[in-house]
Structure 1
Amino acid sequence: MAKVPAAYQATKGSILDVNKEFYDSLTATRSERRLVATLTVPMRDGLAWVVPAGHVFRIKVIEGPQVGDFNMWNLHNPRERMWASRTRQLQAAHVSTYDRLWSTLPYLRPMATIIEDTLAGYGVDEDGGRVHDLLGTRCDPYVNRLLTGEDFDFHCHSNLVRAVQPYGLTEFDVHDVLNIFQCTGLNDDDQYFMKACPAKKGDYLEFFAEIDLLCAMSCCPGGDLSIDLWGPEARDPLETCNPLGVEIYEVDHQLLQGWSSPQPAPYKGNHGLRLQPVDWPELKKRCC
């Protein structure tokens, strides 16, 4: 089959043209970082945390294989949040080193850049499966009710809702996720499939925070996804569930010389709308 080029192409010097030398310098000097926080996302639960711009955060397997459903917001403006579908177009449906997670309109800028991935060598398996998935989204109690007729409050959507509540966010702020450590693909019928998580204890995915971030993650109640969650073979996968770890690092400030947080997209075209000045006296006649 002929290789069709990507629709969204990076031009030299554009924001899509990643400075790999800069990000490589952050991993080459990892021994000089200062660990500022170590967190645990409990099994079948969620957790939210803050990462300042210019810091590195690592999501790691600390016991056994486990999928994590990840959300991210601008710490100071939660209307700016991770945009899974645009990231899928600009980067890939399954992300790895040097890929960036992009924010929603009208901001459209990199929020975080992946700088290290211990599963990068997994590649594409015999079924077309790949890891770190942007194809699907979080499990939720609404679809579970449709499929099983039962209520269960600890789906990834619900875990994320509880995790961000202390930060003043609600269910309406939870959005499509990056499925970290999850192996997925599309079958011959163009349908989404999930496979058992290939991650092992010690594996990690590491990010550089491009802006001040609020992050949240759910330890999926499906565990490593080796057991069917729905359908005739479905059973409770509790035995496959594990916690996940989060580490936040401050890097040497010398490494950040010349780097600055990316600015929101510069488009100011007003979408072709022509705004008319308000005739306040006439408006008052109509409504008063």
Structure 2
Amino acid sequence: MKTTSFTSAPQDADARKAIRPVICYPTDTMPRPDLAQYQAVREGLELVNRVVVPPRDAATWEVPAGHFCRIVCSEGSQVGDLNLFNLHNLHERFYSGKTRALCGTHVGVGDQIFSSFPYLRPMATITYDTLDWYGFDDFGGAVHDVIGTRCDPYTHNLLSNGGQYHHCCHSNLTRALAKKAGLSLEEAERHVHDVLNVFMCTGFTRDTGQYFMKASPVRPDDYLEFFAEIDLLGCMSACPGGDCSTVHSSDAAACFPLVVEVLRPKHPPLNWKAPAINGYDRSHGGG
């Protein structure tokens, strides 16, 4: 965070600041999903699996390609930290940084969740969001961010003079993935990655540029829905911060379970097919 300037502003400081920004990654030429076709097959979805994510813990589930997945606020205002993997290859996983660069700091209907290098392809497409009315508030806050990293025991230890807390989202995700994949905790931890903060309301302060959180607007029966573009393994922690209105990494906040529903459409979207992995030849100019 930058709070103090040690240098004097140059004479042309205002002119430098007035230069208009340029979007880093224009997406006009990027293939886009036909959202109308996704919406058309949402009628008559069949529930094929239901998973409860306990408070201050995590759970895993599978979503076959061509199915929908809903993350539901079931009892009280609660934030979830979501990891996504290729079901058949844990090395292909959600890439929050590139998703952020292509879609923005917070994701919503029509945005796609991209996977890591060297695969870089859409893993999922967001098809419905009952919180899409929220937009950006007067503080610059919005929901479903891809800017936070997940609460973790290492940062907790750093900021609390050596405190030990084992139910941070990072640890919850590690335990759940280890159990699902038959890995040791050390092996599983290497695969846990920056998250999609489902239902979390966040932004950056305008004066210091610090990452902030505020009470989530989510209420029971709200949900975020996505379409699986490839076979997915989901892993999500019901954050120990509850609605993240005051603290996280704590047993003090009121926490509630989250529900995950996997739904099968009667038929896939028209002309839909699973995206191929990225076409870059990986030669990196090496001959």
Say if 2:37 is the partner of 1:22.
yes
Local SS of the residue matching 1:248: strand
CA distance in 1, matches of 2:182, 2:60: 12
Structure label with greater radius of gyration = 1
CA distance in 2, matches of 1:140, 1:107: 27
Corresponding position: 1:87 with 2:102: no
AA at the equivalent of 1:24: Q
Structure 2 match to 1:162: 175
- Partners of 2:101 and 2:63 lie apart in 1 by 25
Distance 1:71 1:266 in 2: 24
Q: Aligned residues: percent identity?
A: 48
Mapped pair 1:243 → 2:243: no
1:221 and 2:235 correspond: no
CA distance in structure 2 between the partners assigned to 1:19 and 1:5 by the alignment: 27
1:7 aligns with 2:19: no
**1:273 aligned residue:** 286
Show the counterpart of 1:258: 271
Q: Which shifted more, 140-149 or 241-250?
A: 140-149
Give the conservation status (yes or no) of the 8 Å contact 1:131–1:181: yes
CA separation of 1:245 and 1:3: change in aligned 2, threshold 3 A = farther
Checking the alignment, whether the CA contact within 8 Å between 2:242 and 2:248 is kept in structure 1 is no
Number of residue equivalences: 263
For residues 85-124 of structure 1, the aligned pairs below 5 Å read 85-124=97-136
Tell me how large the CA RMSD over aligned residues is: 1.7
Partner residue, 1:45: 57
- Matching of residue 207 in structure 1 with residue 226 in structure 2: yes
Does the CA-based 8 Å contact 2:239-2:248 persist in structure 1?
no
Q: TM-score when scaled to structure 1?
A: 0.87
* Structure 2 alignment gaps of length 5 or more: 1-17
Confirm whether residue 190 of structure 1 aligns to residue 205 of structure 2. Answer: no
Structure 1's 46 and 272: CA in aligned 2 closer, same or farther, altered over 3 A? Answer: same
How far residue 256 of structure 1 moved from its aligned partner, in angstroms, is: 3.3
- The question of whether the paired residues in 1 share the 8 Å contact of 2:77 and 2:216 is answered with yes
Q: Which has the higher helix share?
A: 1
SS in 2 for 1:245: strand
Please report how far the alpha carbon of residue 19 of structure 1 lies from its aligned counterpart in structure 2 after TM superposition. 1.4
CA contact (8 A) 1:183 1:197 kept: yes
Q: Which amino acid aligns with 1:171?
A: E
* Matching residue's letter, 1:266: G
